[in-house]
Structure 1
Amino acid sequence: MRRPVSTLGPIALDATLWDEPTTGIGLYTHCLADALQAQGVALSLMGARTSGDHPRGAQKRTAWTLGSLPRVLRQSPPPVYHALGNFNLPLRRVPGTAYVLTVLDLVPLDMPSTVSKPFHWQFRMWLARSLTLADRLVCISECTRDDLLRRFPQVEPRTVVVPIGVDHVNVPELDAAGEDFLRALSLPKDYVLYAGSLDVRKNVDLVLDAQERLAAQGRPFTLVLAGQSWFGSGKVETRIARLRSEGLDIRALGYQPSAIFYALMRRAALFVFPSRYEGFGLPPLEAMRLGTPTVVSTAGSLPEVCGDAAPAVDPDDAEGLAAVIDRLLGSPAERRALSEAGPRQAAKYTWARTAEGTRAAYDAALRHRR
């Protein structure tokens, strides 16, 4: 088992989302930390709200990273500080510490209308500074790496691709309350699931377009939406309410705990995820690991990650999505084939491999510390 270059202390890991409601970055933080520790890497968790080695308390994440974190690092410089949030390295170097930054996507730059203006400018300015300081940049897909190098070609020698894992997903075990909740939903056997936030980038409107088309043709289906509101989700939420009032069977369940979330995913006839862009696209890979037939879009990293194990449609092709949904709902044999192909594709992505690639990035950062 290869370990990081000999160090005088543990790797300092950005844990600013450790105690927060689970988001993609929060899940990445927890799973990466577990996998690194399983491979013998000592970690110091930095900036969690109440836990870890250096909790930030009531401070906001940005204020802590810019103000308090540099002082903490200078007091006892770690060999490596690894920031996980796309752009959030300290603004100055700490002597003796190598900097590693994970870049998940460049959505605020490439799709600025999907984030607030303040966050767009924060991302733009802070990322530019972080790229000048990072000794190694970890991109979670070839797609993200290509997007990064298109804008910042000078960072190519310091950039590596380390895909994330999906083997945190297992067959869910529900307690009695969870079973009662799902039973109370009275879902039909062959429902279609979308899971993720309801922001514009996720393109939930395309699923609604497909549902409207099929309902008009006399082939309705039940659509379950599991995910939280996000920036810009008001328009799609208004549309969902209108479609429900017109008789479409849409169950908007909001954010659900992981056991419920994965139970819904495993029991769905289809999982549909027509996002306009993903730096990786974990939800469809989670569904594929559970054996749920999955349909994605041709955008972003989704073809790279899902391969041939998930049919893909153009993110603007509502007619095409409706046709795929209708065909698969009517073909148990094709769904079985996708149920077998999905877990094989998902098995390529493990957190152990993510940890190995991350450790290699630490090695390189320590060797070429600037």
Structure 2
Amino acid sequence: MKILCFSSVLRQGFGVGLVLREQTRLLSQQGISLAIASPDTEDAGSFNVPVHKIGFDQDSVHSILQQIRPDIVIVHTPPYWEMIGSYSLHPLLKIAYDHGEPRADLFPPIQAKRIQNAIDSKYRAIDRYHFHISISEYVKRCSGITNSTVIYNGSDHITRQPIAHDDINTLISLPENAVLISTISRIGEAESYYKGFPELISLKDKLTKVCEPRPLCWVMIGKSIPKNNAAETMLRDHGFLMLENAPDALKNAVIARSDLFISASRWEGFNLPLVEAMALGTPAAGYSYAAHPEVTPWHFQNEDELCRFAAAVIQNSRLQTSLRTSAVHFVTSQFTWGKNAQALSGILRQMSATGGSPVIRQSQQEAFIDVAREPVQIVNEHLSEKRSQYHAVALDNGCVRLHAPTKSKTSIAIVIPLNQNKAVFESYIQAFMERTAYNDYTIYIVTDKNTEPHVLETLHAMRENNHIAVLETNARSVSEAYSDAAKRITDEYIIFMDGLTIPLAPDWTDEFMAHCSAHDVGAVGGIIYYQDNAIKDAGIEIDKNGDIQYCGRGLPRGSGGPLMEFAVVREVTAISDACICVRRSDLLAVKGFDTGLGGVYAVMDLCFSLRANGKKILTTPFAAFQEFTSEQNTKHIAKNADMNIKNTGSDVFFKKWIHKRMPSPRQRRP
């Protein structure tokens, strides 16, 4: 039985080379004849099997196949999927050893299309293979290949080098008593899109404060391609210590010395460096993305959770010691090259004796549906046993979410400031009602003292609709009009709209009610898009300079954000004035809106007051809105100077709250 393995890379820094080195070492000991074909032969001497140099072209692939005439070919990387898939010059069993590919949506649109085409081409070729191996359940799920076999990588190639802590401190210029955190990553343009470098910077800023008075040193281990690229420069500028081309002895010693190893990567088919860190006895943490839930027990949904874990490990030496033991046990009990080679050897011998079976692949959509269906059933059975009123539903992207029971009989008041452009306002109200499916609601159109007579005539005509009422006020600002309306309205819940934002789906009110009816929730907002489908507003945070930051602004629709935070219901500091839902009793308990503030500052002030009363402020992506535009109001909105777009009182707002110590609940889920 002759085996030929194809890979475009073998050198250090790429996991494929390590996998092949360990597999060929162990399989050759079992008497299995192996060889490797690769254009990357610089480290060929470190393999104990022949390494044949080939090109990236089909002719060189055909030539090596004719020369060696293997019984089985194992393909690890592009561009060889298609070349081997189409090969038919002699009988050949074909195995696809799938390490996964970073998702196309992690990259800019121009690159994303090319990457997705390459992924599609890869799996079309694999349809002609006889066996498919995935390095994780995550890679299997992404491939959609139902009869794929998962074989995990090993970790026992790692050995801890006998370098004393003091020597390590000297070698990397580490201050005495410093907290050491390490990360391994290639650093380049492609990696900058998904390796989580901005998230690492944010974590470093927060953990620096946690570590005080001890200094924090964060070491980035890995090669920069090209040298001094933008990602490397950004990390250096934020105080990361770059350890490039470090020998294995030093690299392993630094990781073993580390208090914690962190990966902020948004995509990993396995994440071998994270597993290697645990094999060295270092607690290793990451976000709950991709294969991380399979390879570490310490994976977290958001930055706050990860920071709290890191703080506990850094500040509690007994906990750190315990986790070091747990880390070693976790990886050595699951991830060994002996298990890996044994599983692969069994597959090779079986295929040699009986041949392979065709790869069975679903469409990505079918795979996602199947993945989601089983958890939904399990969750709903659990909820039924607990006699919960909640129920689980499968989302189109393969996720599962809980639906809270809604108060369908609850009356809702929707307050909208009058737009003085009659034609625009009529079209807005009509579109708004067409996109609102809730039954028991009333739209209260709020006027001010400057309302023109011809506009009032239009309002009186609108009153014929049972869902519309008019509240005439002498308000001088939107906040004053809102406060007046809240006192006169008797409905249990009030939704304040800016008159320039329109719902995208008719069930938006049900989504608001599902959350706003919770006793600990003070206000709920949705996610708002520009006309070009970029995010305009997914909540408000205030940065360390005291500036307002609109969450997600400019990101494309569906991207979810760096941590997928805009794809989930989440707690935020405040909501903008575009759309906010509150319980009337909660609103009156904080004495309504501050009439000395205008626009977004009035609504932010309300949110801060609600939070001061122990209430949460939420945004939900399942209530989506968009800027309302038409041929009649495209120019009008840009120059509109009526009360509903004035943002006044920033100095008053910040003076009022600057000393109240209102911590940001950023990225925390309710």
- TM-score, normalisation: structure 1: 0.81
CA distances 1:95-145 after superposition (whole Å, capped 9, x unpaired): 221111111113154534499569726733541343122111110011110
Cα 1:116/1:361, change in 2 over 3 Å: farther
Whether 1:33 and 2:27 are equivalent positions in the alignment is no
Paired with 1:258 and 1:346, the residues of 2 have a C-alpha distance of 19
Q: Which residue of 2 aligns with 1:46?
A: 37
Whether 1:274 and 2:270 are equivalent positions in the alignment is no
Q: Which residue of 2 aligns with 1:211?
A: 204
Matched residue of 2:133: which SS?
Answer: strand
Paired with 1:185 and 1:141, the residues of 2 have a C-alpha distance of 35
**Residue pair 2:12, 2:18 contacting (<8 A) in 1 also:** no
Paired with 1:40 and 1:119, the residues of 2 have a C-alpha distance of 42
Cα 1:70/1:194, change in 2 over 3 Å: same
Q: Which residue of 1 aligns with 2:293?
A: 303
Q: Which residue of 2 aligns with 1:313?
A: 300
Paired with 1:12 and 1:218, the residues of 2 have a C-alpha distance of 51
Identity among equivalent positions (%) equals 18
For structure 1, which runs of at least 5 residues remain unmatched after alignment? 1-6, 150-154, 245-249
Matched residue of 2:52: which SS?
Answer: coil
Q: Please, which of 256, 259, 262 is the counterpart of residue 249 of structure 2?
A: 259
Cα 1:114/1:77, change in 2 over 3 Å: farther
Paired with 2:126 and 2:317, the residues of 1 have a C-alpha distance of 49
Of 97-106 and 71-80, deviating more is: 71-80
Paired with 1:318 and 1:236, the residues of 2 have a C-alpha distance of 21
Q: Please, which of 305, 310, 314 is the counterpart of residue 325 of structure 1?
A: 310
- Per the TM alignment, residue 212 of structure 1 is displaced from its structure 2 partner at its CA by 1.2
Q: Please, which of 70, 94, 97 is the counterpart of residue 99 of structure 1?
A: 94
Cα 1:304/1:121, change in 2 over 3 Å: closer
Q: 1:1-370, aligned counterparts within 5 Å?
A: 7=1, 10-14=2-6, 16-18=8-10, 20-47=11-38, 49=41, 51=44, 53=50, 55-56=52-53, 61-63=55-57, 66-85=58-77, 88-89=80-81, 90-91=83-84, 92-93=86-87, 94-109=89-104, 111-113=106-108, 120=115, 123-124=118-119, 126-149=121-144, 155-157=145-147, 159-172=148-161, 183-187=170-174, 188-189=176-177, 190-198=179-187, 199-200=191-192, 201-215=194-208, 219=212, 220-230=215-225, 234-244=229-239, 250-306=240-296, 308=297, 311-314=298-301, 317-347=302-332, 348-366=334-352, 367-369=354-356
**Residue pair 1:86, 1:102 contacting (<8 A) in 2 also:** no
Cα 1:53/1:193, change in 2 over 3 Å: closer
For structure 2, which runs of at least 5 residues remain unmatched after alignment? 359-670
Paired with 1:108 and 1:84, the residues of 2 have a C-alpha distance of 18
Amino acid at match of 2:335: Y
**Residue pair 2:203, 2:303 contacting (<8 A) in 1 also:** yes
Paired with 1:115 and 1:33, the residues of 2 have a C-alpha distance of 39
**Residue pair 1:87, 1:123 contacting (<8 A) in 2 also:** no
- Per the TM alignment, residue 342 of structure 1 is displaced from its structure 2 partner at its CA by 0.7
Matched residue of 2:80: which SS?
Answer: coil
Higher strand share: 2
CA distances 1:175-207 after superposition (whole Å, capped 9, x unpaired): x9xx97862322144311111223231213222
Higher helix share: 1
- Per the TM alignment, residue 217 of structure 1 is displaced from its structure 2 partner at its CA by 6.4
**Residue pair 1:291, 1:343 contacting (<8 A) in 2 also:** yes
Paired with 2:265 and 2:182, the residues of 1 have a C-alpha distance of 14
RMSD: 3.1
* Higher RCO structure, 1 or 2 (CA under 8 Å, sep 6+): 1
Cα 1:329/1:255, change in 2 over 3 Å: same
Paired with 2:211 and 2:37, the residues of 1 have a C-alpha distance of 55
Paired with 2:79 and 2:61, the residues of 1 have a C-alpha distance of 15
Paired with 1:363 and 1:238, the residues of 2 have a C-alpha distance of 50
Q: Which residue of 2 aligns with 1:152?
A: none
Amino acid at match of 2:70: P
CA distances 1:319-365 after superposition (whole Å, capped 9, x unpaired): 33333222211011111111010111111211111111112332444
Paired with 1:125 and 1:354, the residues of 2 have a C-alpha distance of 28
Of 317-326 and 111-120, deviating more is: 111-120
Paired with 1:266 and 1:29, the residues of 2 have a C-alpha distance of 25
Matched residue of 2:132: which SS?
Answer: strand
- TM-score, normalisation: structure 2: 0.46
Paired with 1:223 and 1:361, the residues of 2 have a C-alpha distance of 42
**Residue pair 1:13, 1:43 contacting (<8 A) in 2 also:** yes
- Per the TM alignment, residue 69 of structure 1 is displaced from its structure 2 partner at its CA by 1.6
Name which one, 1 or 2, has greater alpha-carbon Rg.
Answer: 2
Amino acid at match of 2:325: E
